[in-house]
Chain A
Amino acid sequence: MEDLSKLSLIDQINGLKSRKFSSLELTEFYLKKIDQAKALNSFISLNENALKEAKKSDEKISKNKNSSLEGIPIAHKDIFCIKDQITTCGSKMLENFVSPYSSTVYEKLSNSGTVNLGKTNMDEFAMGSSNETSFFGNVLNPIDPERVPGGSSGGSASAVAANLCSFATGTDTGGSIRQPAAFCGITGIKPTYGRVSRWGMIAFASSLDQGGIFAKNALDAALALENIAGFDEKDSTSINKKVPSFLNEAKSKDKEHIVGIPKDIIEDIKDDKVKNNFYESLEILKKSGVKVKEIDLKNIQYSLPVYYVIAPAECSANLSRYDGVRFGHRCENPKDLEDLYERSRAEGFGEEVKKRILIGTYCLSAGYYEAYYIKAQKIRNLIKQSFVNAFKEVSSIMMPTCANVSFKLNSIQNPVEMYEQDIYTIPANLAGLPAISIPSGKIKNLPLGIQFIGNYLEEGNLFNLSNKFQQNSNFHNE
């Protein structure tokens, strides 16, 4: 039998439809591979019912009653709640938390016929850029096991890169889909804020969090995203706009692109190899007929400080729900209510999460609120305006995804140095814009990614541009 795990999502759909293989065969194949790749630590838990789900899909396929992704195995970041299954969010706090309901993202993919393989590892509460903050241990990068897969959705990225599934879900608050996609050499999309429902997706920073997809290429990612996007009345920040066929948009020959190059940012890239890769990627795009225009993105250099006020502030509020009373970890023998709160939270949260709650609490506390929180929100507005102005002239903006390739485990100890991992990815979250990372080459066998940021609700445009790039290069297949 051929190596089914090397097939793209779309090829797998065709293979199932034409009865080349069954969903059961595909699922068994993946479960075996996942078992062999245990050392990567990509998964926190496996779905006991995966084979049952596959059999059900096979029945539907045999009766031609299949849904759009019928029988395709998938992995979910362990931040998406699934009813009656443990959802840990990478934390000791939720080590034994059995969700009483399912997230909209999971429901939608389940209704599309996917077979859930299991839940992938992640930085605790999605706070991290290396997957080293997970309570369930770090994840290895399948390209080089001495290095990190990126974070926070490191388990999903490593699973797709190691062919343990053809696509996976992730979330992106400041780069948590795009940076690991770049580090693992795969495609990752964070859609427009509000495009994908946040219902049942455990909250970190509510004005920044957005669910998205990891896949092997832009076409697969387009098809997967159209299956999770759409209005959801359970999420008041969900956008009530029709979702087009991203796959059709990705393949369309009618789209014209003017790609904006933020000259100052590109000139400031410290690593020459990353800079050269950017310009080489630009040449590939130009050859496919894409127009290029230099743009000025004012104030974008403030994105990192702005993010590290707003994200911790929102996290300190969101994570106040973990009190040791209603669900989650509870300390032993509390002497009073105060002791119950303080020790349950001290024991249940890891160091990075605590640090961010403390920073957020500080920025929101009396006397500092104006100087930090309001100041950050004002600059956030300026950053958004810079993008709004840029999109009057261009259809998308191109930047590197990261300033470097994947780094070695435990090699970054300074928190600010770790936070700087996200300097190119954070701006899209602050503005709420869609952004995609695709593989663009390698430095000494380690993958690099380039990122396209699009205008609001223009995910189709990003897929089209990425597909053009992938038709004229082979980095996504290496």
Chain B
Amino acid sequence: MKISKKVLSNISSLSKIKIEEEIKSDLIKDLESILKMVTEMNKIDTSGIEPMSHPLEDADNLRKDKATKEIKRDEYQKSAPQTDDGFYLTPKVIE
């Protein structure tokens, strides 16, 4: 499995991780070796088999959908890099 620089740039953009030019070729080598190992999967016929997303069949313990009065915005926003008046601050999105 080959990964072109174009594919790398696509997954870098999808995962929102900037990749510096000088590490690209080493990174591609590593990713290709992982994908090569992964393609071992193609040796097995899986037609008619259900995909399994989770080890538990009945893992569905949903709690009651009840409103609570717990509002801890100030406490949670203490960990934020930048806030103002209860809002998270980011660079301008709309000019």
Q: List chain A positions with a Cβ less than 8 A from chain B.
A: 97-98, 100, 193-194, 207, 231, 233-240, 299, 302, 304-306, 308-309, 316, 320, 323-330, 334-343, 345-346, 349, 354-355, 357-359, 361-363, 365, 372, 374-382, 384, 414-416, 419, 430-432
Contact = CB atoms under 8 A, between A and B. Distances in A.
Chain B contact residues, majority secondary structure: loop
Shortest 8 CB-CB contacts between residues of A and residues of B: A432-B55, A377-B51, A381-B52, A330-B81, A327-B79, A378-B46, A342-B18, A346-B18
B55 A431 contact: yes
- Using C-beta atoms within 8 Å of the partner chain, give the interface range for chain B: 35 or more
A84 to B, nearest CB: 10
B91 A335 contact: yes
Contacts of A237: 54, 56, 59, 61
Given A346-B18, A379-B41, A382-B46, A100 B72 contact: yes
A431 B17 CA distance: 32
Contact of B11 (A325, A335, A358, A382): A358
A325 B56 contact: no
A347 to B, nearest CB: 9
B37 A355 contact: no
Contacts of B55: 193-194, 207, 384, 430-432
A302 B63 contact: no
B80 interface: yes
Question: Which of A193, A334, A354, A363 has most B Cβ within 10 Å?
Answer: A354
Q: Is the interface of A mostly helix, strand, loop or mixed?
A: helix
Contacts of B44: 299, 302, 379, 382
B17 A336 contact: no
Contacts of B38: 305, 308-309, 363, 372, 376
A238 B59 CA distance: 7
Contacts of B92: 336
B37 A365 contact: no
Nearest to A304: B37
A355 B31 contact: yes
Interface in B34-62: 34-44, 46, 49-56, 59-62
Contact of A345 (B16, B41, B75): B16
A237 B12 CA distance: 31
Nearest to A239: B56
Nearest to B59: A237
Nearest to A329: B81
A414 B32 CA distance: 12
Contact of B90 (A194, A340, A365): A340
B51 A374 contact: yes
B82 interface: yes
B25 interface: no
A378 B50 contact: yes
B77 to A, nearest CB: 8
